[in-house]
Amino acid sequence: MQELFQQIQTYLNMDEEIDFKEFDQYYKRVLATFNESGEQFSEQEVWYGLFISENLLSNADDRRKESKGSQAKKYKKINERMSLWAKNFASRLVALGYTEEQMNERFEAMFEEKAEQ
């Protein structure tokens, strides 16, 4: 999860958008990791999962609006799947006792982190 988190931090700090192929490859790695072990994530991994899924779903939605045809459909599917995972991770954090305010503060702090080079 640390590697996936560092990779999304790198993407978020880039001046240019990555192309569809790279976006899709990253999404597929994330989805495979979530599907394989998402239910057993540690608390820190749940935070990473929430951060990654929220950023992927938001980015996919923005890209869908600018795309047409099959690519727009793929972005829509990415958005839908990551939305389900984001809800899963957020509900797990609530179950651990985090308030919405605490979650928002932690999420913002994660945006501030720099990807390790």
Question: Domain tally for the chain?
Answer: 1
The DSSP string of 19-57 is PHHHHHHHHHHHHHHHHHHGGG--HHHHHHHHHHHHHHH
- pLDDT, one tens digit per residue, over 22-45 is 999 999 999 999 999 999 999 999
Q: Is residue 104 part of a domain?
A: yes
Position with higher pLDDT, 12 vs 28: 28
Give how far Cα 44 sits from Cα of 25, 27, 48, 116, Å: 24, 20, 6, 17
Q: Is residue 39 part of a domain?
A: yes
- Please give the biggest Cα pair distance in the chain: 43
pTM of model > 0.75? yes
Q: Is residue 11 part of a domain?
A: yes
- pLDDT, one tens digit per residue, over 91-106 is 999 999 999 999 999 9
Q: Is residue 117 part of a domain?
A: no
Q: Which domain holds residue 17?
A: 2-112
Q: Is residue 83 part of a domain?
A: yes
